[in-house]
A and B are shown apart, each in its own frame.
Chain A
Amino acid sequence: MKVIRVRRAFGAAVEGEALVSEEGFSPRYDLDRWSGLITKPGHQLEGASIVDKICFFATAKGGIAAGWAFYDLKSKRLAPRAFVFGVTNPVMVQGAIFAGIPITEGWEPAPHGVVQSGDWVRVDPGQRTIEVLRRKV
């Protein structure tokens, strides 16, 4: 299976189900933080849950308040297993590190056509790689 190389990374290696969006993400603008569901009307993933997923987002949106949000999600057991961003911002990184959630930025190749929602993937921040282990059945 094809391997995606990432530019920057933090955290321990994890496996999980991919949730892939070509749209940006903010846990404040897009997410219901009491259910883990994406609730922003019209978001590409509206209605999807980020809980326990490996979330692929093209960009980060906003917002300083996101810095506390990941820690809060983790303490409510609503956190994703990892964040994979095409382009991110410091708040997402500060928030993910604060919560101990693996996070990566930059990808080669882009996940479009390589990873689909439902695939089982492994994110290895130490090796700076993402690998598809099993296709969605």
Chain B
Amino acid sequence: MELTAGERAILAGERGEAARRALRYQIEVGRFWGAQRFVPVTNVHMMGDIEVMGDGGLEWLREEARLGARCVVATTTNARCMDFAHCERLGQDAAEAVKEREIIACLRRMDVVTADTCINYQTVYQPHLGEHVAWGDTGTVIYANSVFGARSNFESGPAALAAALTGRTPEYGFHLDAHRRGTFSVRLDATLCDLADWGAVGKLVGETHQDYFAVPVFHGYRRAPAADELKHLGAALASYGSMGMFHFVGVTPEAPSLEAALGGRQAAESLAIGDADIERVYRGYALGDGDARLVVFSGPQQSLLEMKRLADLFRGRRVKAGASCFVTTNSGVLAQARELGYAQALEDAGVTILQGVCFYILQNLTPMRQANGWRNMVSNSAKIVNIIGAHRFNTILRRTAECAEIACSGVLK
């Protein structure tokens, strides 16, 4: 890779050992992908908690802190694995909670803003067209690339932290124009009346095109999608397809037309998705023994408008005795939801609101499933339905209102 004088200085140790190690690591990653150089980044979003890092990762982070690692650009954290107010009731390990607190303290010492959110793009930072950032999780990256027209690859925890320490990232993938053009088109004939329907579109398109560099171009849709709809579409595409970008003609900034989104090339494939395809997704889930004792609204965390909708659905009702219903969001949204009475309505109904976490990365999730005898997990998030499999849940996607109905009635159909 071509290095600037500043980068050579980092390698020479002029900005400390932690920055030197970070850049050396980034050079290896850049070499793999054939990056020619680095690009400066303005914002970093990183994942780092004890559930994803494990003891090995924690030990590595301690070493970084000892070396005086310090962020040179604004850096925020993704959702983590524990809401300390709830960990005892959830049966999470006290010893792991101690480690989680140590990770948070380490990151803060490095000047990381522990915002603990996977919806930074809705609540913390909205990059502009062409702005280079280094973000993870995948839902944040696909939203940044697609909806804002910013530029990021999937940056895992160690890679994002390296970018935070050096202020740059290798230029490959979605930092380059060549990879941002649409590769295939999807005509949206479906009505799409619920967030889960948008996730179902992401599942249909992502599952059949598992390729980071595949970029679908959606077109033909009859109305302007809302931010939460694009959030669920993107999160599902990234999850099922490992995709980092999509275009939506007339909506996203690099897609004024189908032709422009495709960059003047022919689509490699043209699909269409109608209402029948969406219904087929819902019918495709095995219901097992009909266990309806776990309903989850998470992955991504809920926006304020999603909290309002859930409050409207649960107000005056009660989660079925013996069932559990979880909502996850970040601290900022929760504070507003409290002020507006949404949190109260949900808690009065017996819904548990977890702050700063995502359900699927909760520490001790498999033992939690076993202790509660949960077999099925019902959610309106196509993403979480996909990613929780290693914990051996049977997962079922349902529309938001149906999820609320299942939680309160205990009946799964």
Q: Which residues of A contact B (CB under 8 A)?
A: 8-10, 24, 26, 28-33, 39-41, 43, 58-69, 71-72, 74-76, 87-91, 93-95, 97-98, 103
B405 to chain A, nearest CB (A): 26
Is B390's CB within 8 Å of the partner chain A? yes
Residues of B within 8 A of A41 (CB): 389, 392, 394
> Which candidate, B148-156, B252-260, B267-275, B323-331, is the interface stretch facing chain A?
B148-156
Complex CA gap A61/B241 in Å reads 7
Q: Which residues of B contact A (CB under 8 A)?
A: 25, 28-29, 31-34, 47-48, 52-57, 59-60, 78, 136-138, 141, 153-159, 172-173, 210-213, 238-240, 242, 244, 361, 366, 386-387, 389-390, 392, 394
Residues of A within 8 A of B390 (CB): 28-33, 39-40
Contact B52 A68 (CB under 8 A): yes
Contact B154 A90 (CB under 8 A): yes
6 residue pairs, one from A and one from B, having the closest CB atoms: A67-B156, A75-B56, A72-B54, A64-B136, A89-B212, A94-B159
B79 to chain A, nearest CB (A): 10
Contact B57 A68 (CB under 8 A): yes
Residues of B within 8 A of A24 (CB): 210, 242
Contact A68 B53 (CB under 8 A): yes
A124 to chain B, nearest CB (A): 15
Contact B33 A72 (CB under 8 A): no
Contact A8 B34 (CB under 8 A): yes
Residues of B within 8 A of A26 (CB): 387
Complex CA gap A35/B172 in Å reads 34
Known: A8-B33, A68-B158. 17 other contacts (CB 8 A): A8-B32, A39-B390, A41-B394, A58-B210, A60-B212, A61-B242, A63-B138, A64-B137, A66-B156, A67-B155, A67-B156, A69-B54, A75-B55, A75-B56, A90-B172, A90-B173, A94-B29
